[in-house]
Amino acid sequence: MRIVIAEDNALLREGIILLLTGSGHEVVADAATGPEILPALLEHRPDVAVLDVRLPPTFRDEGLRAALAARAELPGLPILVLSQYVEETYAAELLARGAQGIGYLLKDRVGRVEQFLEALDRVAAGGTALDPEVVSQLLTRKASARPLQSLTARERQVLEHMAQGKANSTIAAELVVTERAVSKHIGSIFAKLGLEPDDGTVHRRVLAVLAYLEGRGEDRGHR
């Protein structure tokens, strides 16, 4: 895949480039500041962009802003946002215009090379990758909700993986169960939470689950 990355820390930038080229990808451009991102994306039209949130010149959230601007300029451009910390609000902003081709992960996850590459592939293919920490922030908030408490321990695990944007086959492999069992669990979760039955489109069901967890309906947008 052709990838554009934005990361201001040279050590991390080199590390990520090494990791990506080592697994057969091509880094076509690397940006070290926020304003460089959009021109680079427009020029190279990569298969996926990997953006750090905090970048020069202001060291605030320009990576995130650049991601939102890029999505407006180039609809459907897959973007994976990496950050030193995750904030549920940022996830909501990223997902406001659909979950297709959006990833939001802690930088820590890069260390799990295989899982990171799998998430990157998933995002590039139009899927969703949400950090487990975002999902657990959402789940903690809704912890006392009755329907969530009615889930079995296994269903809860499946829900967490599902909200991260994983496909049934991936969930099955990680939990060491059959895909059939996973889809049975998912059916049961959707029934217990009172959601529309799963139609098998991963990014759509991520949104449905997130909307449920956020308790604000599907169209959340900016507040």
Partner 1 sequence: MTSTPSPLTVAVRRSWDASRYLLIGIPVALTACVGVFLVLAVLLSAVVVIGLPALPEAAKVLRRFAESERRRAAARLGVPFRPTPYLPLDAEELSDRVRRALTDPATLRDVFRLPFQALAGNALGYLTMLLWPVGLLVDGAALTVVHLLDRRTSDEYGTPVPVRRGWVLRWHPVLADLSASWTRDVLTSPVSAVLDERIAQLTESRAGAVEAHGAELRRIERDLHDGAQARIVALSMRIGLAKQLLDRDPAAARVRLDEAQDGAEAALAELRHVVRGIHPPVLTDRGLGGAVRALAAGVAVPAEVVLHGIDDGRRLPAAIEAAAYFVVAEALTNISKHSGATAATVRIARGPGTLRVRIGDDGRGGADERAGSGLVGIRRRVAALDGTTRISSPAGGPTDIEVELPCGS
Residues 102-131 binding partner 1 (CB under 8 A) are 106, 108, 111-112
In the complex, the smallest distance separating the C-beta of residue 178 from partner 1, rounded to whole angstroms, is 25
CB 141 within 8 A of CB 171: no
Q: How far is CA 184 from CA 157, 195, 196, in A?
A: 13, 15, 15
Nearer to partner 1, 87 or 121 (CB): 87
The bridge status of strand 48-52 relative to strand 2-6 is parallel
Count of alpha carbons within 13 Å of 56, Cβ hemisphere only?
8
Binding to partner 1 by residue 18, rule CB under 8 A?
no
> How many Å apart are CA 38 and CA 220, to the nearest integer?
25
Distance of CA 193 to the CA centre of its chain: 22
CB half-sphere exposure, 53, CA atoms < 13 A: 18
CB of 16 to partner 1, least distance (A): 16
User: For partner 1, which residue of 60, 75, 169, 174 counts as binding (CB under 8 A)?
Assistant: 60
Going residue by residue from 21 to 50, which x/- string records binding to partner 1, judged by CB under 8 A?
A: ------------------------------
Q: How far is the CB of 161 from partner 1 (least distance, A)?
A: 18
Which of residues 144, 176, 196, 217 is near partner 1 by CB under 8 A? 144
CB of 26 to partner 1, least distance (A): 27
- Our finding on whether 141 is near partner 1 (CB under 8 A) is yes
